[in-house]
């Protein structure tokens, strides 16, 4: 996919958000915008430290804003422009939101060079569960399965 004046404008906005809100002390140097048909529907910047929310990454904030604005939970037909390659959490959120395309500026190695551990998380998630650094245990699966079975039978569910 080739860049054009619009894609550069939207990326510059994501970078501008990253700089502005980093300088204001809202969080790390990350910004994102969500665009559909040439219109910005959502903007986000890292708010992890200012909101005391480890999930308040720029991409997640932009997704939440765009979904709220449109009154939907999927963003088909939209693209995200982000000042850095999305971390695994944000990448998963982008997939769940069904965005059509990702544009990014800095990459995960650039983030690692300034002490953000996105690259480590990418490696960690790829490991078998028993090899990860976070101990993980499965309990009460039968009880939880009953809820899943109820969902499977639920006639008025909204699939996603």
Q: Which residues are catalytic?
A: 59
What is the distance between the alpha carbons of residues 21 and 44, in angstroms, rounded to a whole number? 10
CA dist., res. 123 & res. 112, Å (int): 13
The gap between the terminal CA atoms of the chain, to the nearest Å, is 28
Q: Helix H segments across the chain?
A: 5-23, 48-51, 58-70, 88-97, 108-113, 118-125, 141-153
Who contacts 58 (Cβ-Cβ below 8 Å, separation ≥6)?
14, 17, 18, 30, 31, 32, 44, 45, 46, 82, 83, 90
């Amino acid at each position: 996919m080739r860049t054009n004046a619009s894609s550069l404008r939207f990326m510059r906005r994501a970078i501008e958000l990253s700089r502005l809100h980093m300088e204001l002390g809202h969080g790390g140097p990350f910004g994102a915008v969500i665009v559909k048909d040439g219109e910005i529907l959502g903007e986000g910047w890292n708010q992890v430290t200012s909101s005391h929310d480890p999930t308040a990454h720029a991409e997640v904030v932009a997704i939440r804003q765009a979904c709220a604005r449109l009154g939907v939970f999927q963003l088909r037909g939209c693209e995200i422009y982000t000042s850095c390659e999305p971390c695994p959490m944000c990448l998963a959120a982008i997939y769940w939101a069904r965005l059509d395309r990702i544009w990014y500026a800095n990459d995960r190695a650039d983030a690692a060079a300034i002490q953000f551990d996105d690259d480590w998380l990418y490696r960690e998630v790829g490991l078998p569960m028993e090899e990860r650094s976070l101990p993980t245990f499965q309990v009460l699966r039968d009880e939880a399965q009953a809820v899943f079975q109820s969902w499977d039978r639920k006639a008025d569910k909204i699939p996603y």
